[in-house]
């Protein structure tokens, strides 16, 4: 049997890095992979949630607002991230180390990410912040690309929803833990150091398992820059399922980003909540709790049902209802209900979507690169949401219109998943 698009031996051939997995992964492998995934999110969100903002206020030059400094640092870092994830995914696809294709990049990524965090800790100006944060983004995207590519490499299709659920849990806990480490360490330098140490140590169990099939040098395709760069474009007319899956992820993430972007301003200006920052904290905690409660359940349920698309549609409908509530039920109670529904919907979507993406990859030989291209659909909404939200709020109807647009965009993404033919 031959695997799709590779011309190499297919499932059941021992040691074949391109074979479709058939043996279920053990719990300890899933736990180790999830811990490595959590390490990445600690390294990202300790700085993003707390440390970069504190440092921007401390190091902003005369005449610069701290908000402008933070925007420049995070914006440049986001641009690096957009490029780094598919790039390292493609490089890991071609890696012929005896330790496997992915493990070397997990190691290099966490070490480079820790180094970037230490550069940030020692930064004495905006340039140092930019260099440190760009190194963090560059390196940790190498780890993240390798971690997510390990799932289609190792996990059978019938188990991917469950593993995707655990990755969703570790992502959420990584954000919370990164924020907690940054706040509890006792200063900006100590916060960066704590995140750096955790990022390295949390990847150790996965590395020590050494369950990554090496790529024989004979199976690595010849390298030319032209073919390498052309590989990042996947024609949606040829790879239709991949294209529809990418668009589904992009639109649902964009709808979610639009719903959450101006939450503080919505509470302050529209609902007139006395302490809007505390309100955001309550809504965020409620959202995270419901997300954690459903992200694993959704993945396991999807595996047992043997279906993905109905769960994506259902999750999208729930999230659209939540956004519509913010537009039509403008009260603190309405905001609480909406935050809970967004958590439920996005939790189910996160786990099932990951399994769906792994199931529509065009070729086993390019899993890392193709998943990197898919991950752009996670990052790009964070760039597009502010550009769309600002004119909607300022000139085109205010918050009711913003949240109705959020609902429509997310619902469109959910409904488009039915155009995918190769997944149930």
Give the model's pLDDT for residue 8: 37
Given 211, 230, 249, the domain boundary residue is 230
* 139/246 same-domain check: no
Q: How far apart are CA 368 and CA 149, in angstroms?
A: 5
Domain interval for residue 259 = 240-419
> For residue 95, what are its two tokens?
């890696």
* pLDDT tens digits in sequence order for the chain, 424 residues long: 333 333 333 333 446 788 889 999 999 999 999 999 999 999 998 898 789 988 998 998 988 888 788 888 888 888 899 899 999 999 999 999 999 999 999 999 999 999 999 999 999 999 999 999 999 999 999 999 999 999 999 999 999 999 999 999 999 899 888 888 888 888 899 999 999 999 999 999 999 998 898 998 888 888 888 888 888 888 888 889 999 999 999 999 999 988 887 887 888 888 988 888 788 888 888 988 999 889 989 989 999 998 999 999 999 999 999 999 999 999 999 999 999 999 999 999 988 988 898 888 888 888 899 888 888 888 888 778 878 888 888 888 888 999 999 999 999 999 999 999 888 7
* 148/284 same-domain check: no
Q: How far apart are CA 368 and CA 90, in angstroms?
A: 6
- Can you state the angle between helices 52-59 and 66-93, rounded to 10 degrees? 130
* 119/214 same-domain check: yes
* 121/269 same-domain check: no
Q: Is residue 424 part of a domain?
A: no
Q: How far apart are CA 363 and CA 351, in angstroms?
A: 22
Give the model's pLDDT for residue 294: 92
Given 200, 230, 260, the domain boundary residue is 230
In this structure, what DSSP letter does residue 418 have?
A: G
Q: Is residue 308 part of a domain?
A: yes
Q: In a 10 Å sphere around its CB, with 0-12 CB exposed, 13-18 middle and 19+ buried, how is residue 321 labelled?
A: middle
* 376/249 same-domain check: yes
Q: What is the pLDDT of residues 108-164, one digit of tens each?
A: 999 999 999 999 999 999 999 999 999 999 999 999 999 999 999 999 999 999 999
* 65/153 same-domain check: yes
> For residue 118, what are its two tokens?
């230490």
Give the helix ranges, DSSP H, for 47-123: 52-59, 66-93, 103-122
Write the DSSP assignment of 232-276 as a string of letters. T---TTTSHHHHHHHHHHHHHHHHHHHHHHTHHHIIIIIS--SSH
Which residues, in sequence order, are CB contacts of 148 under 8 Å at separation 6+? 37, 167, 354, 371, 375
8 Å CB contact between 2 and 8: yes
SS3 of residue 214 by DSSP: coil
Task: Give the CB-side neighbour count of residue 120, counting CA atoms within 13 A.
Answer: 39
Give the model's pLDDT for residue 125: 94
Sign, Cα dihedral of 210, 134, 88, 423: positive
Q: Is residue 155 part of a domain?
A: yes
For residue 382, CA distances in Å to 74, 250, 252, 376 come to: 11, 10, 12, 10
Q: Is residue 21 part of a domain?
A: no
Q: Is residue 190 part of a domain?
A: yes
Q: What is the CATH number of the domain that holds 32?
A: 1.20.1250.20
* 300/193 same-domain check: no
Q: For the chain, what is the domain count?
A: 2
Q: Is residue 22 part of a domain?
A: no
């Amino acid at each position: 049997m031959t695997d799709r698009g590779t011309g190499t031996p297919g499932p059941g051939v021992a040691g074949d890095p391109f074979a479709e997995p058939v043996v279920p992964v053990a719990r300890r492998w899933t736990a180790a992979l999830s811990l490595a995934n959590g390490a990445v999110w600690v390294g990202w969100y300790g700085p993003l949630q707390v440390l970069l903002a504190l440092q921007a206020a401390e190091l902003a030059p005369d005449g610069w607002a701290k908000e402008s400094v933070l925007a420049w640092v995070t914006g440049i870092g986001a641009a690096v991230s957009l490029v780094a994830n598919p790039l390292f995914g493609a490089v890991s696809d071609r890696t012929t180390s005896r330790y496997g294709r992915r493990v070397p990049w997990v190691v290099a990524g966490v070490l480079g990410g820790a180094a970037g965090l230490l550069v940030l800790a020692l930064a004495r100006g905006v340039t140092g912040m930019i260099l440190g944060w760009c190194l963090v983004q560059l390196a940790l995207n190498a780890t993240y690309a390798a971690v997510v590519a390990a799932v289609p490499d190792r996990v059978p299709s019938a188990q991917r929803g469950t593993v995707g659920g655990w990755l969703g849990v570790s992502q959420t806990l990584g954000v919370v833990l990164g924020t907690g480490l940054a706040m509890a360490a006792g200063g900006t330098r100590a916060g960066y150091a704590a995140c750096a140490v955790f990022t390295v140590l949390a990847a150790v169990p996965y590395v020590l398992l050494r369950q990554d099939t090496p790529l024989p040098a004979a199976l690595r395709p010849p390298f030319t820059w032209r073919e390498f760069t052309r590989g990042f474009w996947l024609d949606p007319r040829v790879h239709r399922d991949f294209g529809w899956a990418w668009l589904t992820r992009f639109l649902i993430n964009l709808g979610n980003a639009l719903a959450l972007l101006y939450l503080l301003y919505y509470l302050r200006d529209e609902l007139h909540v006395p302490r809007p920052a505390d309100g955001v904290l309550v809504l965020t905690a409620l959202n995270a709790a419901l997300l954690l409660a459903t992200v694993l359940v959704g993945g396991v349920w999807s595996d047992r049902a043997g279906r993905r698309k109905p769960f994506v549609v259902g999750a999208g409908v729930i999230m659209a209802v939540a956004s519509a509530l913010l537009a039509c039920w403008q009260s603190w109670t309405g905001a609480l209900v909406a935050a809970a529904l967004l958590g439920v919907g996005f939790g189910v979507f996160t786990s099932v979507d990951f399994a769906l993406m792994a199931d529509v990859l065009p070729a086993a030989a390019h899993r890392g690169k193709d998943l990197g291209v898919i991950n752009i659909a996670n990052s790009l909404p964070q760039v597009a949401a502010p550009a769309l939200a600002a004119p909607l709020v300022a000139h085109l109807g205010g918050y009711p219109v913003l949240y109705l647009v959020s609902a429509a965009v997310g619902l469109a993404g959910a409904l488009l998943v039915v155009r995918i033919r190769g997944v149930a």
